[in-house]
Amino acid sequence: MREVNLAGVDLNLLPALEALLKRRNVSEAARDVGLSQPAMSRALARLRDVLGDPLLVRTAGGYALSSRAQTLHAQLATALDQVKAVFRDPGFDPARTERTVRIVGLDTHTILMGPVVMARLAKEAPGIDVRFEGYSANIVERMSTGQLDLVFAQATTPLPPGARSEFLVKDRLALVLRAGHPLAKRKWTIEDYGRVSHVGISIFGDAGSELDAQLAPAGVKRRVALVTPHFMAALATVAGTDMATTVGRSFATRFAGPFGLILKEPPLPRTDLDLTVVWSEVRSADPVLAWMRKVIGEVARETMAAEPVRVSRARERD
């Protein structure tokens, strides 16, 4: 059996063929596909030439299907349905979707949003699984090749070419100490950052810090005695020492009670933390990810919005 070169076949003939085999009448087939009778007659002639078969055989009662046409009639309906499905918008039903969504984030995102997101998925999209992954040096490459779906970032984070972002929620920094810290009762100045040891957060394992950049103009250099990629470890360490840390208020507020912590307004020029979600342009038309971004946005506003500033019960002094 020889292979058919589709590039040499006029696929516009398929609707005409379907109508002719169904109606067995040139005039009626022409009306079905919106052609004139002469145009349908020309289409029939071309089909006969391409297929090497008369297709419609004249009889005393009109036209009958040839043996080849009878076989084609059974095949064509299924084939055309499959072709139409290629161009048909499949729609999106979360309840019927089976998919794994890969998200890059911190332990703060996993802890605060993960449980609520998964509870939503269990009810609305039980076939969607989530994989949280850590930040890595090749994150841009993995996004652009579709290995990652979504990435949490700050609004100040530069976006790579071809990336898109969406604002999720406003948070802000909080200075965190244990309740019995020697400096807990005073109103902090920027110089106080140089008077205690700190727990620093390093996402990519580098030594750079936006906080240190804010301290530098005031000539303040802090001692970072512990560096960790985990915000939960930072809070746990502060709870058991006289160290301090500066992290997002939404996360610190969540665990201030269990860890016996107090949150203070940091004496810094900039304390805003605008959380965004980032994705590659190659994923822009993906309805699953558009729906997931909507869910994540709703959950973020529910779980990560900054709380009002809470001062410790211990009275602050200047």
Question: pLDDT tens across 191-246, in order?
Answer: 999 999 999 999 876 655 889 999 999 999 999 999 999 999 999 999 999 999 99
**Sequential DSSP letters for 6-39:** GGGS-TTHHHHHHHHHHH--HHHHHHHHT--HHH
Cβ(117)–Cβ(296) under 8 Å?
Answer: yes
Close Cβ partners of 202 (under 8 Å, ≥ 6 residues apart): 209, 227, 228, 229
The count of other CB atoms within 10 Å of the CB of residue 22 is: 14
φ, ψ at 29 (rounded to 5°):
-65, -40
- At CA 139, angle to CA 270 and CA 288, rounded to 5? 95
The count of other CB atoms within 10 Å of the CB of residue 25 is: 16
CA atoms within 13 A on the CB side of 38: 0
Q: What is the pLDDT of residue 5?
A: 57
- Read off the pTM: 0.70
Q: What is the pLDDT of residue 206?
A: 63
Enumerate domains of the chain plus CATH numbers. 6-87 (1.10.10.10), 97-167+278-299 (3.40.190.10), 170-272 (3.40.190.10)
- Hey, what are 78's tokens? 């299924």
Distance of CA 176 to the CA centre of its chain: 32
The count of other CB atoms within 10 Å of the CB of residue 281 is: 12
Residue 38 to residue 40: CA distance in whole angstroms: 5
Count each helix (H run) and each strand (E run) in the chain, helices first.
10, 11
Cβ(151)–Cβ(277) under 8 Å?
Answer: yes
Q: What is the pLDDT of residue 6?
A: 58
Q: What is the pLDDT along the chain (318 residues), one digit of tens a residue?
A: 455 555 566 777 888 888 888 888 889 989 988 999 999 999 889 989 888 889 888 887 788 888 888 888 878 877 777 777 667 666 789 999 999 999 999 999 999 999 999 999 999 999 999 999 999 889 988 888 888 999 999 998 888 888 999 999 999 999 999 999 999 998 999 999 999 999 999 987 665 588 999 999 999 999 999 999 999 999 999 999 999 999 999 999 999 999 999 999 999 999 999 999 999 987 888 999 999 999 999 999 999 875 543 333 333 434
